[in-house]
């Protein structure tokens, strides 16, 4: 893909997700359940949400802890949406929106107690993301990072073929755990996002939006790709999905 086509593709992809609360699969109750089991955080943790989109998790974290959240995303469209949502929820005093690259943060070493990243680490590669983010964490700080993961070693061929093209670095949970250990983390727990959350909170709102946007050759190809992704997920969601890795700086 040429640089111009790539830029056009990203713009169309951002437009497709415009106005959706979640830019990737996730679920608030599921996240709150993970948080309720974290016992080692300070009462007012220093929090970061990396690849925050329009703030599905940043807003939840701010509300839950009543503590500031540094919310980073490369898309100005999503950061503007986050600002607006924070205002509507009366949380603007707790949300620090940062349009920037989550791989290039100039924050001090050990400056984050809770690092959250949902559906975004794959943009850097899971292990690479962990290695870049590890120094940001305080002693015994916690990272909760979701990553598309294989649930089996015997992946069905159609799912393998699709994801080898879309995300060739996708690993099994066991492989991701090895990568996390190698990057300076111990594993506290792992949690699989239920497939229902993909449909209700992500695919269905996206399908609605797909019927509203202007069709161009690029949007047509993105829609086609997304529909294929949905068809595969419907058939093979027992074999892969988002796993949330709850990690502690070791």
Count CB atoms within 10 A of the CB of residue 231.
Answer: 12
Binding site for ligand SAM (CB under 6 A): 22-24, 26, 51-53, 56-57, 72-75, 78, 101-103, 118-120, 123
Q: Which is nearer to ligand SAM, 29 or 157 (CB)?
A: 29
Region for residue 94 given its phi and psi (left: phi exceeds 0; alpha: psi -120 to 50; beta: otherwise): alpha
Pick the closest to residue 212 from 5, 19, 8, 11 (CA basis). Answer: 19
Instruction: Compute the least distance from the CB of residue 153 to ligand SAM, in Å.
Output: 26
Owner of token pair 């019927």 = 211
Residue whose CB is less far from ligand SAM, 67 or 123: 123
Given the complex with ligand SAM, which of 51 and 141 has the nearer CB atom? 51
β pairing state of 240-249 and 137-150 = antiparallel
Closest CB to ligand SAM: residue number? 53
**CB-facing half-sphere around the CA of 34: CA atoms within 13 A:** 27
Q: How far is CA 177 from CA 91, 127, 182, 198, in A?
A: 35, 10, 9, 23
What's the min distance (Å) between Cβ of 224 and ligand SAM?
A: 19
Nearer to ligand SAM, 111 or 181 (CB): 111
**Least distance (Å) between residue 112 CB and ligand SAM:** 15
Output the smallest distance, CB 172 to ligand SAM, in A.
Answer: 21
| Residue 75 C-beta: closest distance to ligand SAM, Å | 4
């Amino acid at each position: 893909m040429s640089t111009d086509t790539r830029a056009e593709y990203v713009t169309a992809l951002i437009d497709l997700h415009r106005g959706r609360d979640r830019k990737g699969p996730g679920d608030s109750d599921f996240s709150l359940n993970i948080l309720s089991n974290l016992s080692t955080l300070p009462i007012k943790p220093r929090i970061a949400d990396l690849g925050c989109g329009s703030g599905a998790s940043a807003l939840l974290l701010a509300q839950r802890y009543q503590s500031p959240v540094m919310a980073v995303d490369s898309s100005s469209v999503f950061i503007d949406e986050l600002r607006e949502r924070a205002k509507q929820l009366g949380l603007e005093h707790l949300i620090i929106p940062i349009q920037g690259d989550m791989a290039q943060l100039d924050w001090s070493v050990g400056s984050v107690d809770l690092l959250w990243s949902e559906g975004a680490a794959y943009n850097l590669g899971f292990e690479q993301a962990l290695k870049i983010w590890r120094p940001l964490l305080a002693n015994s700080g916690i990272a909760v990072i979701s990553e598309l993961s294989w649930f089996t070693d015997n992946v069905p061929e159609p799912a393998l073929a699709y994801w080898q093209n879309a995300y060739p670095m996708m690993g099994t949970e066991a492989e991701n755990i090895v990568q996390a250990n190698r990057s300076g983390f111990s594993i506290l727990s792992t949690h699989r996002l239920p497939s229902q959350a993909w449909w209700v909170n992500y695919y269905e709102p996206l399908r609605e939006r797909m019927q509203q946007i202007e069709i161009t050759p690029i949007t047509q190809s993105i829609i086609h790709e997304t529909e294929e992704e949905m068809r595969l997920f419907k058939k093979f969601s027992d074999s892969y999905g988002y796993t949330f890795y709850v990690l502690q700086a070791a």
